[in-house]
Amino acid sequence: MLDTLIFFEYCLSMDFQTSIKTCFNKYADFSGRALRSELWFFVLFTLLGGIITVILDVMVLGYSIESYGPINLIFSVGILLPSIAVTTRRLHDINKSGWWQLIELTIIGILLIIIWCATEGENKKNKYGSPIKIKSRRR
């Protein structure tokens, strides 16, 4: 149990709020590297944001759940570029080009991107920059 907690703390070296701020501050920045926690917290944010905007479209505006309402559409367009950018930076962390995202156009490519994004980044400098250092929040 303690090993699991230590591993969990190690993987989550960037908190939810910092991750969202970083992704929006680097809105269209395709250079550099991104931590796993930065990407996965942003994925969680987009998932929760998508659910909330669909609920707002259905409950407030009266759209059917099957169609894209205007709130969800605006949210989806707004997060498209930062989502591509953070995934590119995450792939840079494992020394892969951001162009590998195009493999998602195939069905099997989605699984490959998920595996790569969950892989630990390189601890040494690569052609995309130095590894990201983040302060530990030990109590």
Q: What is the residue extent of each domain of the chain?
A: 16-23+31-118
pLDDT along the chain (139 residues), means of 10: 42 81 93 94 97 94 87 96 96 94 92 94 89 64
Residues 54, 65 contacting (CB under 8 angstroms): yes
Q: Is 80 exposed, middle or buried (0-12, 13-18, 19+ CB in 10 A)?
A: exposed
Say what the pTM is: 0.82
Which pLDDT tens digit goes with each residue over 31-71? 999 999 999 999 999 999 999 999 999 999 988 888 889 99
Structure tokens that stand for 14 in this block:
């960037």
115 three-state secondary structure = helix
Query: What does 35-91 look like in DSSP terms, one character per residue?
Result: -HHHHHHHHHHHHHHHHHHHHHHHHTT---TTSPPHHHHHHHHHHHHHHHHHHHHHH
